[in-house]
A = this chain, B = another copy of it.
Amino acid sequence: MSLLVVGSTAFDTVETDQGRIDDCLGGSSTYFSLAAAMFTEVRLVSVVGEDFPDESRALFEKHGVRLDGLEVKPGKTFRWSGKYSADMNSRETLDVQLNTFADFRPRVPDTFRDSPFVFLANGAPTTQASVLDQVEACRFSVADTMDLWIETQRDDLSALLERIDGLILNDEEAKMLTGETNLVRAGRKVLDLGPKLVILKKGEHGSFLFSNFFQYALPAYPTEHVLDPTGAGDSFAGGFMGFLSGCATLSLWNMKRAIAYGTVTASMTVESFGVDAIARASRADIDRRYDELIQFVSV
Interface size of A by CB at 8 A reads: 34
Minimal beta-carbon separation of A83 from chain B (angstroms):
15
Q: Is A244 an interface residue (CB 8 A)?
A: no
Residues 260-299 of A, flagged 1 when their CB comes within 8 A of B and 0 if not, give 1000000000000000000000000000000000101111
Q: Which residues of B sit under 8 angstroms from A226, Cβ to Cβ? A: 182
Of A67-75, A118-126, A149-157, A199-207, the one touching chain B: A199-207
Q: In the bound complex, do residue A206 and residue B219 qualify as a contact, i.e. CB atoms below 8 Å apart?
A: yes
Checking B181, B216, B219, B222 against A218 with a beta-carbon cut-off of 8 angstroms, the contacting residue is B219
Q: Is A185 an interface residue (CB 8 A)?
A: yes
Q: Is A54 an interface residue (CB 8 A)?
A: no
Q: How many copies does the complex hold?
A: 2
Q: In the bound complex, do residue A184 and residue B223 qualify as a contact, i.e. CB atoms below 8 Å apart?
A: yes
Checking B205, B216, B223 against A296 with a beta-carbon cut-off of 8 angstroms, the contacting residue is B216
Jot down 30 A-B pairs with beta carbons below 8 A, ordered by A.
Answer: A17-B181, A86-B181, A87-B181, A88-B181, A182-B223, A182-B224, A182-B225, A184-B222, A184-B223, A184-B224, A188-B224, A205-B205, A206-B206, A206-B217, A206-B219, A208-B219, A215-B296, A216-B296, A216-B297, A217-B219, A217-B220, A217-B222, A217-B296, A218-B299, A219-B219, A256-B299, A257-B299, A260-B299, A297-B297, A297-B299
